[in-house]
């Protein structure tokens, strides 16, 4: 199985900050990398596919990058509604594994 490792596991930041979350795959996955946002008690919300393509309706302050084994999710200016847990997911090969999550908290 391909292992996905996110860092950091948790992050404290303020409204207006720029933050970056990293996701590393245990082997090359090209750009088969998707990102999700999950708020407490809710299902995950799909944000980004193919490493850097924004889902329709997702604010442009979200961006993704990377290829191969190293990927990033950046939020350029944090808004109150962005505080949540973020997951990466590889879809290069089955089983389609997720990272362990990064919890973004208000400082």
Partner 1 sequence: QLQLQESGPGLVKPSETLSLTCTVSGGSISNSNYNWGWIRQPPGKGLEWIGYIYYSGTTYYNPSLKSRVTISVDTSRNQFSLKLSSVTAADTAVYYCARPTGSYNWFDPWGQGTLVTVSS
Return the number of the residue (17 or 96) whose C-beta is nearest partner 1.
Answer: 96
Q: List binders of partner 1 among 42-81 (CB under 8 A).
A: 42-46, 49-50, 55
d(CA 24, CA 41): 27
Return the number of the residue (44 or 65) whose C-beta is nearest partner 1.
Answer: 44
37 touching partner 1, by CB under 8 A: no
32 touching partner 1, by CB under 8 A: yes
Contact assessment for residue 62 and residue 48, using Cβ atoms and an 8 Å cutoff? yes
DSSP code for 55: P
d(CA 82, CA 14): 11
d(CA 107, CA 55): 28
Return the number of the residue (83 or 86) whose C-beta is nearest partner 1.
Answer: 86
Query: Which residue do the tokens 């795959």 mark?
Result: 25
The binder of partner 1 chosen from 62, 71, 83, 87 (CB under 8 A): 87
Q: Which residues bind partner 1 (CB under 8 A)?
A: 1, 31-32, 34, 36, 42-46, 49-50, 55, 87, 89, 91, 94-101
């Amino acid at each position: 199985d391909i292992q996905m490792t996110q860092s950091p596991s948790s992050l404290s930041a303020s409204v207006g900050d720029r933050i970056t979350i990293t996701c590393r795959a245990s082997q090359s996955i090209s750009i088969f990398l998707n990102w999700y946002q999950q708020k407490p008690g809710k299902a995950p919300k799909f944000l980004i596919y193919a490493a850097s393509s924004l889902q329709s309706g997702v604010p442009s302050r979200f961006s993704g990058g990377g290829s191969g084994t190293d990927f990033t999710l950046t939020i350029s200016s944090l808004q109150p509604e962005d505080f949540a847990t973020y997951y990466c997911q590889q879809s290069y090969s089955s089983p389609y594994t997720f990272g362990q999550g990064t919890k973004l908290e208000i400082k």
